[in-house]
Amino acid sequence: MSKSAVRRLIAGYFLVFFGAIFLRIDYFPLSWVPMYGFREEAETLTVAVGDVDRRELGFAGLRANGERSFLSRRDINVPPANFRRLYQERAFGEGPPQHRRERAELAAFNQWWYERLIGPDPAKDADYPRDLLTSINRTFGLGPQDPRRFVQLEAHLDFATYTRAQLDSGDLLHPVRERRVAIITPTGTHYQRARIGG
């Protein structure tokens, strides 16, 4: 191997290596896995408890003409796993994991260039429920003046909250349970909450 070939190899390696650092690809090139890991510590852990039968019914929809119907995954032609994310996450204002992780604990320089070159933080500016309503209307080809357009969607979901002590001891039988209803309208999303049990 010639001296110039070695120099090109070393220059290429450092270009890829430092380019990955600049783009915040953690631990590159040894492994890309750590950039997908994310841990948030809190005194409580709240998780969605899916009701498969309720989710199979789908969103309770209200049209502009007053008609009520359910929108299931079959109606909007979405695979089950994707519909679960729409129903359990986007309707309740939770974005994709990469939106929460993308800018977590960035150094000042990285924060600066992300804001300037890529744009605002999607986790702060996105309105996932409203985007969901807009997307469903577009899926059916319903414009803003169409009397058949959906003006409200509802998603019903139970949540369980565990304390750190319950998690440490493995006692997962008695969480604080809460039923939440996401009511999505073009003007915003409202959440109704009701505690379940004692």
d(CA 70, CA 79) in angstroms, rounded, equals: 17
Task: Look at residue 39 and tell me whether its pLDDT is greater than 70.
Answer: no
d(CA 101, CA 138) in angstroms, rounded, equals: 29
For residues 56 and 33, state if they share a domain: no
**pTM summary value:** 0.73
pLDDT in tens, 92-107: 988 887 777 767 767 7
For residues 31 and 57, state if they share a domain: no
Q: Is residue 108 part of a domain?
A: no
For residues 75 and 21, state if they share a domain: no
Between the two ends of the chain, the Cα-to-Cα distance in Å is: 75
Task: Look at residue 164 and tell me whether its pLDDT is greater than 90.
Answer: yes
Q: Taking a C-beta distance cutoff of 8 angstroms, is the pair 26, 34 a contact? A: yes
pLDDT in tens, 48-98: 987 889 999 999 999 999 999 999 999 999 999 999 999 999 999 888 877
Q: Is residue 97 part of a domain?
A: yes
